[in-house]
Chains A and B, each alone.
Chain A
Amino acid sequence: MYNIKCDVAIVGGGPAGLAAAVAAKKEGAEKVLIIERDNALGGILQQCIHPGFGLTRFGEELTGPEYYSRFVTEAMDLGVEYILNSMVLEIDEANNQVICANSEYGLTCIDAGSIVLAMGCRERTRANIVVPGTRPAGLYTAGSAQRLINRQNIMVGKSVVILGSGDIGMIMARRMTLEGAKVVMVVELMDYLAGLTRNRVQCLDDFGIPLKLSHTITRIVGNERVEGVYVAPVDENKKPIKEKEEFVECDTVLFSVGLIPENEISNKAGIVIDKVTNGPKVNQYMQTSIPSIFACGNVVHVNDLVDNVSAESEQAGKYAAQYAMGTLAKSEGNANLVTGNNVRYLCPQSIEKTGKDEKVSVYFRVLKPEFNVKLVARCGDKVIAQKREFRVNPGEMNHVNIPLAEVEGNEITVEVIKEG
């Protein structure tokens, strides 16, 4: 077996892996190696040719390829190394090794000081959400269709119904329209938008594409190719109202019904996974339950904005480098983060106390939309951080900055409180 030694091994060369690599190198790790399964770096951003990336980080609007190219350039300048076309088969956590398959080298074993997981996520499918009906050609997840169109120049169909108002779904509604397809409608089970409001405006409203909230696809029709779908409104329990079912003709259905962090190799390695995020439980260093393994980006929890992913991944890269060099701060005990009112999950899930005067950003999603709220972090009755928000929405991530010096006890509760 081919052997490579490195200080920090990074699984995945998408935006998370790239930001982690750059940060690890900057922190002083000598040999940083990205292991990428695709034939190029950039990850899913390679197929995200639309603008909208980088507003937070760079203060300008970039396309996906423009966004990751900046990181690739920086990584190369810093001397980050990478191997492409390499699928990781296994992480041997006992020996701190990553084993991957590569056509050129054969099976390859990478010995690392620390490992950063940056595998991203995959899409929930039609079958995951159990849409009944037939199984014809013409059913795609929005991301697969995006890959076919943007990377392979292949058009998936001519008339499209999209289930789910996630960001990829809305972006694909616009993309399919620009490619000459008719997007009949976007159907959303919930009574609110799943993705970002700006995508609704720019991708649906601007193109006159109808959005049907509180509706769902009840059946898929067609034996060879999709012939259409039945669409029905849902009641307050999200059950379709059969009598109001209508047939909608189309030859393609795209599913944008959620993303799942891709943790097959994390699971195999025995890393503790959060049942809500479906990603590894981490502390503020983005360190998993196995101390030598860090994780960042969508493999930890699904982000809305790549800018967030980059920021979070820099933390992972920085601390993974410190771990490899033996300089990671000793913990003075830890505090668990607990979800309070209208909070679905928190990331990180715990905080190591260091005694230093620094702030830790804790990201979270709400369970339901609310207006005029206060985001509060408290230890017992003592409020340690708070901020006002005009609106919170499950589709848009929130965060609070927790001052480490203020943390008391071993629990921090984060909650959303309705004001006035």
Chain B
Amino acid sequence: MNKAKAVVIGAGAVGCAIARELSKYCIDVVVIDKNDDVGGCASKSNSAIIHTGYDAAPGTLESQLVVAANPMYDEIVEALDIPFKRVGAILPAITDEQFEQLPQIKEKAFKNHVYDIEFKSGKELLEMEPNLNPNVKGGLYIPRESLIDPFIFVQALAENANANGAEFMLNAKVIDIKTENGKVKSVVTTKGEVEADYVINSAGLYCDEIAEMVGKADYKVVARKGQFYILDKNTSCQVERIVLPIPTKVTKGKLMCPTIHGNMLVGPTAEDQDSKVDKSTSTEGLDSIAADVRNLVPNVNLRDTITQYSGLRPNRNPEGLHFDMYDDLKGYINLSGVRSTGLTLSVSMGKYVVQQMLMSGADLVLKDNFISERKGIIKFSEQTREVQDKLIKENPLYGNIICRCETITEAEILDAIHRPLGARTVDAVKRRVRAGMGRCQAGFCGPKVIEILARELGVSTDEINKNIDGSYMVSGTTR
């Protein structure tokens, strides 16, 4: 049996941020996830925005954590080499009714300590975003709303935690949590049992099922589906900032924003469903996005879409973000209701969890050799011609371009496979280097990536999965 002190269940943004924070201390950390890769669930399919918390419910834990998290990003993206950009968000009011709502939204932002929110006139907004609905009456500008690469963000947290000793057990599903004398004892997985003094449940969509294993499931997770469109980088109608709708009583609405890599992202829907696995898109959902976003940006060209996807927000019933520790179950920490703002608040949640552990008497001693930095995969396409030439001379595989749309080289793909917590699947490669994320959607590079993965992992091509077990890419060889 492995000996470990803290077991984190779930390798999403929150789990990996907690693991990284814990890895600053002298404590054994094991992160367990049922997927093949870190960030393989809600953390990979969202709007990739780092929020300010301007619209959170004031005074809640969620508000505290989001508001605290936003300023932390400047340092963390620098240290961990994560693509990030503070582009700002605007909330344009198109109707008189919406215009009248602006003061309340601003007031709420102030209650959440977001003081840099500003009123802008319709003219100013149109100067900022010429593609806005020309009827815009005015609106709010929130400068610190930001874009991030959500995949690299989670990978960076995980790689850095790993470099500092945190162990990752992937493809391992938690089956049971053993307790003894009012304390957690161990976590049983499909890959074996891990002893634990602390068990942190950051299982997102499945956190209620984990909580049930220790009799602490006084809530249910309700999957709230969000469907999105991604548009081609060349699409004619673009925005530079995050364009948010004025929320209605029913929904926060659908937004349009650039992605950190220059595509346009449009969505999401908000559809509650029973299934935690059904991530299908639907005609109705996608059509509703089109109708809503055209109110904000009338000329948005959804025919330039290069992909559509949906993600499931782990909403909680009863609602709200919860952090729970229990007197009758020492060492067990339960996080629930980590939903749309989860990506943003992961970094503050990491600190919050450790602080709560310290305050409850955990014997955590800071390391003096914590490695605070992590280097990402060099992006050939972003280098100057001189650097590109030098890279190829040093490693000829930089001269072999595998993904034509995003100009991704074989050297980058090999780095993605061979670095710690490296890619084992086609999607894991895609999420690390963007091969297959361009307009041809892997039509060109897909067949090559399958062969590279098989070669580098020393397996046959029919063992290569798209992502999870059972998602085999090819069925065998020809006759």
Contacts and interface: CB of A to CB of B under 8 A. Distances in A.
Nearest to B45: A135
A179 B479 contact: yes
A128 B305 contact: yes
A132 B286 contact: yes
A144 B283 CA distance: 26
Interface stretch (B95-103, B139-147, B238-246, B384-392): B384-392
B283 A106 contact: no
Given A135-B279, A155-B477, A225-B471, A144 B447 contact: yes
Contacts, number: 147
Given A1-B389, A155-B476, A224 B309 contact: no
Given A103-B396, A132-B281, A224 B469 contact: yes
Nearest to A142: B443
B308 interface: yes
Contacts of B306: 125, 127-128
B280 A137 contact: no
B444 A122 contact: yes
Interface residues of B, number: 58
Interface stretch (A54-62, A145-153, A201-209): A145-153
B201 interface: no
Interface in A126-160: 126-128, 130, 132-138, 140-141, 143-144, 147-149, 151-158
A123 interface: yes
Interface string B393-425: 100111111001101010000000000000000
Interface string B422-444: 00001000000000000111111
Given A122-B440, A125-B441, A127-B307, A103 B447 contact: no
Contact of B478 (A101, A155, A252): A155
B450 interface: yes
A149 B400 CA distance: 22
B371 to A, nearest CB: 33
B443 A154 contact: no
Interface string A3-16: 00000000000000
Given A136-B466, A155-B477, A224-B471, A37 B401 contact: yes
A88 to B, nearest CB: 10
Contact of B389 (A106, A123, A125, A136): A106
A316 B158 CA distance: 53
B399 A125 contact: no
B443 A123 contact: yes
A154 B399 contact: no
B305 A127 contact: yes
Nearest to B388: A107
B469 A101 contact: no
Contact of B392 (A107, A140, A156, A225): A107
Interface residues of A, number: 55
A127 B438 CA distance: 11
Contacts of A135: 279, 309
B399 A130 contact: no
A180 B479 contact: yes
* Most chain B beta-carbon neighbours within 10 Å: one of A87, A104, A125, A127: A127
A334 interface: no
B465 interface: yes
B64 to A, nearest CB: 36
Nearest to B304: A128
Question: Interface residues of A: mostly helix, strand, loop or mixed?
Answer: mixed
A89 interface: yes
B446 interface: yes
A180 B477 CA distance: 11
A99 interface: yes
A161 to B, nearest CB: 15
A251 interface: yes
* Most chain B beta-carbon neighbours within 10 Å: one of A101, A219, A225: A101
A141 B477 contact: no
Contact of A155 (B281, B396, B409, B474): B474
Given A1-B385, A136-B471, A154 B280 contact: no
Given A1-B389, A132-B286, A102 B447 contact: no
Nearest to B399: A103
A354 interface: no
A104 B397 CA distance: 9
Nearest to B389: A107
A125 B278 CA distance: 22
A221 B450 CA distance: 23
A125 B440 contact: yes
Contacts of A157: 474-475
A138 B389 CA distance: 37
A326 B38 CA distance: 60
B26 interface: no
Q: Report, nearest first, the 3 A-B pairs whose CB atoms are least far apart.
A: A103-B399, A224-B470, A137-B466
16 contacts: A101-B388, A101-B398, A123-B440, A123-B443, A125-B440, A125-B441, A127-B305, A132-B282, A133-B281, A135-B279, A143-B443, A144-B442, A148-B450, A154-B474, A225-B471, A264-B404
Given A125-B440, A154-B478, 11 more contacts: A1-B385, A85-B399, A101-B399, A125-B443, A128-B305, A137-B473, A141-B443, A144-B446, A155-B475, A157-B475, A179-B479
Interface of B: 234, 277-283, 285-286, 305-309, 385, 388-389, 392-393, 396-401, 404-405, 407, 409, 426, 439-444, 446-447, 450-451, 461-462, 465-479
